[in-house]
A and B are shown apart, each in its own frame.
Chain A
Amino acid sequence: MSPTVTTSSEANNNVSAATARAAAKAAGAAAQNTDMTGPQTITLAKALNTAMADAMHADPSVLVFGEDVGMLGGVFRITDGLTETFGQTRCFDTPLAESGIVGMAVGMAMNGMRPVIEMQFDAFAYPAFEQIVSHVAKMHNRTKGAVKLPMVIRVPYAGGIGGVEHHCDSSEAYYAHTAGLKVFTPATVADGYRMLREAIDSDDPVMFMEPKKLYWSKDQVDLAALRAEHAANTERGTSSEGRAAVARPGTDATLIAYGPSIPTALAAAAAAAEEGRSLEVIDVRSIVPFDDETVCASVRKTGRAVVIAEAHGFASVASEIVARVQERCFHHLAAPIRRVTGFDVPYPAPKLEHYYLPGVDRILDAVDDLQWED
């Protein structure tokens, strides 16, 4: 599935083609590997890869490291070609130790670098939990801003790939619950580029949660326009950071989702449309900071909402979204907000995961429950 999504930021940053090219030129947009202009069909993986390459061209302090990210290009090939292009000082393999990777990145960020590090899989990031929670998240606060940690921790996350245990966790709530971390999760190819550039630009640490089942999803994007948008945003000091997007406009109910659940939510909305029900799909994009404004504007308009996420529902990001929307939109609600999430069980084995994952039917059942008869 390759949804074409218009994000609010694209609407906001309606840079004309001429301005775009001028800005790209002015900014010296330097990426070598994808210098075609005009729309082209690429994968999310390629968009992420291009974002890193462009950031590395633009800023020599941007470094990429982790396990197998060097000559192999990462187990998902997201760092493909970076070592060849930038050499082993800029993109390199580390010993196999996640706490070491994150802890070393903290020190490098303290000393003038902008590390972009890869945790190979969601569950493999847990050995780094202490470094992330006790230092990455807290250093800025501890030092009253004297030490900034401009670092990005890329986490391929969530399931739907038939992976064995420890390869499919939705770990976003652990990070979202930790004060001091930004948590981004792109769902579209364009956002893969746009949001990773913004994460690398951020002076605060970002947990960059990449829905691994969408790595090979394709979409038509104009990389030159995305580069120009980034350059223009940099110049203006604006960005799409922290903004949710309307992935599909609708009027009857709002589906609030993020990352791997966006294509599922869009499929559910398409199916509902055939039954005459107009569902709006909101792509959260940034879990922290959270865009209450965009989410609540949609729910106030439709009066009904379902929150969709792969992670276990209990004490989850989905729970937080329900609570926030209920607090802010109570008098606009025609029905209690429903959640469609993973069950509160360990992520299942490959042959069982389709029972666990939120699917179109389960979403439509939840929508049907939104007290339409009243």
Chain B
Amino acid sequence: MTISADHTAQEPATKDAQEPAAKETASQPAGQQAGSQDPASEAVRKFGITAEDYMLPARHPIQMVGPDGTLNPHTEQGTQPGHEYGLPSDAELLAAYEQLVVGRRVNDQNSALVRQGRMAVYPSSHGQEACQVAAALCLAEGDWLFPTYRDSVAVMARGVDPVQTMTLFRGDWHGGYDPTEHKVGIQCTPLTTQLLHGVGVAHAAKLRGEDTVVLAMCGDGATSEGDFHEALNFAAVFHLPVVFFVQNNQYAISVPLAHQSVAPSLAHKAVGYGMAGERVDGNDVVALLAVLGRAVKLAREGSGPLLVEAHTYRMQAHTNADDATRYRQDSEVAQWVAKDPLSRTQTYLTGRGLLDDDAADRIAGKAEAVATQLRDGLGEDVPVDPQDLFNHVFSTPTQQLKEQSAMLADELARDAASTATEAGK
């Protein structure tokens, strides 16, 4: 074993040798690193494999259902000792399929609403819906999800109201939902800063003895950011139950993965932090549910953080403001059409007899209802309150903000008065 798991240097040094041992024990942190929590020896004990074999991803990405919708033979799923995955239950699969269909409908409806001028911008996860759905469904109630701006489908799948989710992109406010209500971090555009927030949420929960798991999402380009490194390292050092979920959709706006990293894979980065990594077919919702489900389970059981990289593809441009034909070939996109996450799941579930026409109709109806909700909600012009500029900067507005708020109110009152006068002429 070449990976040193010797954490003794991190044991608290006792200033005074006479310091009562009981005090040290009593204050021994739940959230602090300690030799007994060393993930390497834990892996050796639990799975009978070496630390390297635990931390390094399996030699091949995990894939259970291939692009044609047939279940791979167990020996061809990419699993190996210590990296073994069971098939999700029928109920889980059906629930995931329903969310896949809803998610695809949400993506396409939102893109249409942008074209109609009802939203300023929408970063679509078209083609990545399997990742979105699995990220949301692998968590239990009370667990936290930290999404990126492209993860609206995952946010909605956690129960956040679709129209509230779209507030950011509609331009009414920087965020439209209460993160604490559904335990979903607020979407925003800095990259990987939210991973550290997820680490903090997990740390606070662990200090209180709660069994909360955090799933924190980012993309392939984001793994170049400094906060990616800091988040993974903090989570590992404090041994926190965080699953880092990288959707490798091959592009950071226009820049392909080869310009971000020359690591063997993004999942291989895990070993540098002393955590386990895994690769998974990001368009295979069956494999995603299995891999993320196991990662969440291990994290909850105290194995520390894990890193999961999903191979997927951003089927559309970065946003409506982007032109993807400037940096990639149509032929490349066409190859990924054949790997579509929806059609393969549909074929697989139909073949298994889990999805009949009635179920398909019911699911299509549900997706249409969400689309209608989005059209109605975003079609409506909700008046904005200019005083909201000042209302939420601090818990209590400062004197300076009160003065500026009064100034704006006065401007608006004078505008209204002169408009009324004009109208009266």
Contacts and interface: CB of A to CB of B under 8 A. Distances in A.
Interface of A: 63, 70-71, 83-84, 86-90, 92, 94-95, 97, 99-100, 102-113, 127, 130-131, 134-135, 138-148, 179-180, 182, 202-204, 242, 288-290, 292-293
Given A71-B12, A111-B205, A106 B200 contact: yes
Contacts of B233: 95, 97, 100
B29 A179 contact: no
Contacts of B19: 84
Given A89-B30, A92-B32, A104-B196, A288 B398 contact: yes
A277 to B, nearest CB: 32
A289 B400 contact: yes
B237 A107 contact: no
Contacts of A290: 398-400
A203 B395 contact: yes
Interface in B184-198: 186, 188, 190, 193, 195-198
Contacts of B230: 95, 97, 99-100, 103
A103 B231 contact: yes
Contact of B173 (A71, A111, A144): A144
Given A84-B15, A107-B196, 12 more contacts: A89-B207, A94-B234, A103-B196, A103-B200, A103-B230, A104-B197, A113-B207, A130-B190, A140-B394, A142-B173, A142-B188, A147-B179
B200 A107 contact: yes
B388 A144 contact: yes
Given A100-B231, A289-B398, A107 B392 contact: no
A307 to B, nearest CB: 18
Contact of A107 (B13, B31, B178, B201): B201
B27 interface: yes
A237 B30 CA distance: 35
Contacts of A293: 399
A143 B186 contact: yes
A87 B27 contact: yes
6 contacts: A95-B234, A110-B204, A112-B208, A143-B186, A146-B179, A289-B398
A78 B203 CA distance: 24
B12 A70 contact: yes
Contact of A146 (B13, B178, B193, B196): B178
A295 to B, nearest CB: 12
Q: Is the interface of B mostly helix, strand, loop or mixed?
A: helix
B200 A104 contact: yes
A284 B398 CA distance: 15
A130 B174 contact: no
B373 interface: no
Interface string B384-418: 00001001111100111000000000000000000
A130 B190 CA distance: 9
B202 interface: yes
A204 B392 CA distance: 11
Contact of B395 (A94, A109, A135, A148): A148
Nearest to B187: A142
B187 to A, nearest CB: 10
Contacts of B154: none
A268 B106 CA distance: 68
A242 B181 CA distance: 32
B200 A138 contact: no
Contact of B226 (A99, A109, A138, A180): A99
Interface residues of B, number: 52
B377 interface: no
A285 B381 CA distance: 45
A205 to B, nearest CB: 9
A180 B392 CA distance: 9
B9 interface: no
B350 interface: no
B368 interface: no
A104 B180 contact: no
A113 B399 CA distance: 28
B363 interface: no
Contacts of B27: 83, 86-90
A147 B193 CA distance: 16
A105 B186 contact: no
Nearest to A98: B230
A106 B196 contact: yes
Interface in B158-194: 173-175, 178-181, 186, 188, 190, 193
A139 B132 CA distance: 24
Nearest to A88: B29
A95 B229 CA distance: 11
Given A89-B30, A104-B199, A107-B199, A145 B226 contact: no
Nearest to A147: B179
B52 interface: no
B395 A110 contact: no
B227 A104 contact: no
Contacts of B392: 140-141, 143-145
Contact of B197 (A70, A135, A141): A135
Contacts of B181: 146
B423 interface: no
A21 B175 CA distance: 47
Between B199, B203, B208, the greatest number of chain A beta carbons within 10 A of the residue's beta carbon is seen for B203
- Among B179, B198, B237, B394, max chain A CB count under 10 A is at B394
A96 to B, nearest CB: 10
- Top 6 A-B pairs ranked by shortest CB distance? A107-B200, A87-B27, A103-B196, A100-B230, A289-B398, A111-B204
B231 A292 contact: no
A130 B13 CA distance: 34
A135 B187 CA distance: 12
A292 B399 contact: yes
B197 to A, nearest CB: 4
Interface in B244-284: none
A130 B200 contact: no
Determine which residue in A88, A104, A108 has the highest number of CB atoms from chain B within 10 A of its CB, and name it.
Answer: A104
B72 interface: no
B197 A103 contact: yes
B227 A100 contact: yes
A107 B200 CA distance: 4
Contacts of A145: 391-392, 395
A131 B226 CA distance: 12
Contacts of A144: 173, 175, 388, 391-392
Contacts of A131: 193, 196, 227
Nearest to B174: A142
B17 interface: no
Contacts of A143: 175, 178-179, 186, 392
Nearest to A73: B15
Contact of A100 (B31, B196, B391): B196
Contacts of A148: 395
A141 B180 contact: no
Contacts of B203: 104, 107-108
B37 to A, nearest CB: 14
Contacts of B12: 70-71, 83, 88
Contacts of A130: 190, 193, 227
Given A89-B32, A106-B197, A142 B207 contact: no
